[in-house]
Structure formats: structure tokens, C-alpha cells
Structure 1
Amino acid sequence: MKIIICDDQAIIRDGLELLLRLDREIEVVGKAGDGAAALELVERHRPDLVLMDLKMPGMNGVEATRRLRDRFHGTKVLILTTFDDDEWLFDVLRAGADGYLLKDTPRADVIKAVKGTVAGKTFMDPTVAGRVLQQAMGSPAAPSSFITERISDREVEVLRLLAAGLSNRDIAQQLHLSEGTVRNYVSAIIAQLGVSDRTQAAILAVRHGLVA
């Protein structure tokens, strides 16, 4: 799999390259110091994934992720940053990031996350994932047409509760449904939204306005 590293600090870029090269399945095809340079490398190499920092001079990671999503649909974006404040987190998830790690993530977990994200899984730092769920439990927001065109109003209710971290049993109790019915709803939501698990569903809820 082909990877591009985007970070404004050369020592971080070089360290990540050395780390990723320990895995024979990973090929680092380019390194960039800002978002604009990363987009040029993506245009040239069409990588499977960009390992993206957030705060960088010039084009930051949020804007780079947004533009990458618009132009290169086959390339995943995994955020690796020191910043875990809500503004950066939710902005980049809405921009289309596929996962969010902090730079204190153990080295083996970074490699696992890179390979897993390329395979379609979602990796998020536990504290970050917890805040996504807390946000999902806040005031309801109006979902975008991407959501409403794909799932029913009842499925939107289920998705909102799913994103809040509720189990099928808890959702069933809250909506006065059987657990089997909720299980069917969840399976339909995952299939119709093109995601593979509950974490991806929660991220999609943030990205498309279901979470305030």
C-alpha cells in the first residue's frame, strides 16, 4: 500500500517514514510539509492513504482533507496530530477524515491504524472517540440530505442513539421497539450508508450534521 506523510516538522516526517518502512506491506511514496504540497503528491502518486497533521503553515490539515475528499475519492485520510481540541476534531471529521490519532499513540498502533484504515476500518484515539459520543448525546441537529436520502426518519433516530454509544438493547428500550427490530435497523443503516461499523456510523453522523 502506498502512503504519503504530511507534517510540517521534518523530524516527524522522517521518524514516521522510518516507522512505516518497518512493515514490508507499506511503501512511503512521498512526504509533504503542508496541505498544498500533499495534494500535489497525491495527484502524482495516487496513494492509498495520507497520514495528515492538522496545524501546518499554509494549507492546514482540515482544508487539505476537504480538498482531497473532493478530488481523490480513493485515498483515505488518517489524522495524526498533537491537537485534540473539539474545534479541530469536528472540523476535520466533517471535512472527511477517516480516523484520528494523537502523536502519543504507540508505534505498533500507528502501523495497525494505517493498514486498517486502508482496509476500510476506523481508528480513533479513545479520548477523541469518547468526545464524539458525548457530542452525539447533545442537542439534536438537522441531518443533511446525504443521510435523509438514504435512511428513513426512524433509522435517523436509531443512528442518533447509536452514535451516542447506546447498545441495541438500550435503543430498543428508548424507542419502545424489540431488540431484534433495532438490530435490523442497525444492519440496514450500516449497509445503506456504506459504513462497516458503529464508529464509522458515528463519524458519518458528525460529518453530515446529525450531531450538533
Structure 2
Amino acid sequence: MTTGVLLVDDQQLVRAGLRMLCDSTEDIRVVGEAADGEEAVRLVASAAPDVVLMDLRMPGMDGTAATARVLADRPETRVVVLTTFDDDDHLYPALAAGACGFLAKDATPGELLDAVRQAAAGGSPFSGPVLARLVGQATSAWRAERPPEPPPLTAREREVLACVGAGLSNGEIADRMRVGMTTVKTHVGSLMRKTDSPSRVRLAIFAIRHGLAG
């Protein structure tokens, strides 16, 4: 199955690089490019992308406002923020607007492609440092609570869970465990069901709260 992606960034050079990266795969296809938020909203309506890679700082309508508009008009769209600014002042408004993931622009090509695939599959891709910060903040808020007993997990599931808790991407987990991406995705999906975690962030928090993070 091919994932349609809309690239939204006010810098043409950035869009060109992202297009070349996406075009190097067989399962990701660029369906459009936008230089600002207003153009992004229009193209989502006409091109119906599965995933939008959204910059935040753009002239006119910024990425946060565009994300809210896109999801109001087409809720099934998955928006992944790709930005230079990964501080909390940019992170939380983007998440509140409905973004499902948040990557810094220093992500590797493999991490970015993995993020697109995760988002298309219903996941929540985050850069390692961003995920660690989210997990740390949520864990601090819950530290005083007694966590429920974890469900029975296989040794391999515990290994995958430790990697998720450490903020590793699916690609990094596959490399570390020397298994295929499909195997990792299967384990992550099983872990999310077993732990009742609706997102990758919640799964990482679960790992840390139960002392299972790597």
C-alpha cells in the first residue's frame, strides 16, 4: 500500500530534499507541496494525503493553525510536525492542534521515513529527545501513584518495550535487535494492546513507570 504525503514548508530547498527522499522509496508518494498553511489546507482538500509533513514557522498561516484547520476539515489526515524548533512552546500547541507526531529537522532520513510509515499506520512518531521530554514530564506527574501490575509479556516484548521506553524509533529497534521492521511493528502493536496504551508516548511512559525502560 502506498502512502500519499503532502510536504508543507516555506523553503523550496527543504521541500525538494524531502521529495527526493520520499521518491527513493516504493511505498511513499508525494501528492503535493505547499509553501504556507493556507495552501496546505487547500491541497489537503484536493489531494487527500494520508500524511502531512508540516513545518511550523511559515508566513501567513503558520503550521499550528494549519494543522487545526486540516484536521477540522479532514480528521482522518495524519499530521507530523517537522521543525527546527523542538521546544515546549512549539511542541504543545502543535499537539493541541491535533498533530500525531513531532520530529526535529535533524532527524535522519531513515527516522523521517519511519515516521511517515508510523503515522500512516496510526502511530505517533516523535524524535528521541522530544519523546524523552514528554515521557519525563508525564512520569514526574504520576510518580506518586502506584502503577498497576504489568500484563504478562514475553522476553522479546520486554526487549522491545525497553527500547520504546528509551525513545528508540522502530528502525533503531530493528537494527539493535537484528530483526525486520515488520517484526518490530508487530511487537509494538501487541504491546500497545496489552498495556492499553493508545499511543507510543503512553507506551514509553508505561515502560518507565514499571521500570522496564532501557
TM-score (norm: length of structure 1): 0.69
Correspondent of 1:20 among 16, 19, 22: 22
Number of residues of Structure 1 aligned to a counterpart in Structure 2: 164
| Matched letter for residue 132 of structure 1 | L
Distance in 2 between the 1:55 and 1:82 partners? 9
Distance in 2 between the 1:74 and 1:12 partners? 26
CA RMSD of aligned residues (A): 2.6
| Matched letter for residue 56 of structure 1 | M
Distance in 2 between the 1:76 and 1:109 partners? 17
**SS of equivalent to 2:93:** helix
| Matched letter for residue 25 of structure 1 | D
Q: How does 1:61-210 map to 2 (within 5 A)?
A: 61-137=63-139, 161=142, 174-175=145-146, 178-179=149-150, 190=196, 195=198, 197-199=199-201
Per-residue CA deviation, residues 61-86 of structure 1 (Å, 9 max, x unaligned), is 11111111211111100111110111
Aligned-pair CA distance for 1:200: 5.2
**SS of equivalent to 2:33:** strand
**SS of equivalent to 1:78:** strand
Aligned-pair CA distance for 1:178: 4.5
TM-score (norm: length of structure 2): 0.68
Aligned-pair CA distance for 1:201: 6.9
Aligned-pair CA distance for 1:175: 2.5
Identity percentage of aligned residues: 37
Distance in 1 between the 2:6 and 2:140 partners? 36
Point out where structure 2 has 5 or more consecutive residues left out of the alignment: 152-191, 206-214
Q: Which residue of 2 aligns with 1:5?
A: 7
The 3 A distance-change label for structure 1 pair 176 and 19 is closer
Distance in 2 between the 1:4 and 1:113 partners? 14
Would you identify which runs of 4 or more consecutive aligned residues in structure 1 move more than 4 Å?
176-180, 186-189, 200-203
Point out where structure 1 has 5 or more consecutive residues left out of the alignment: 140-160, 181-185, 204-212
The 3 A distance-change label for structure 1 pair 68 and 179 is same
| Matched letter for residue 65 of structure 2 | E
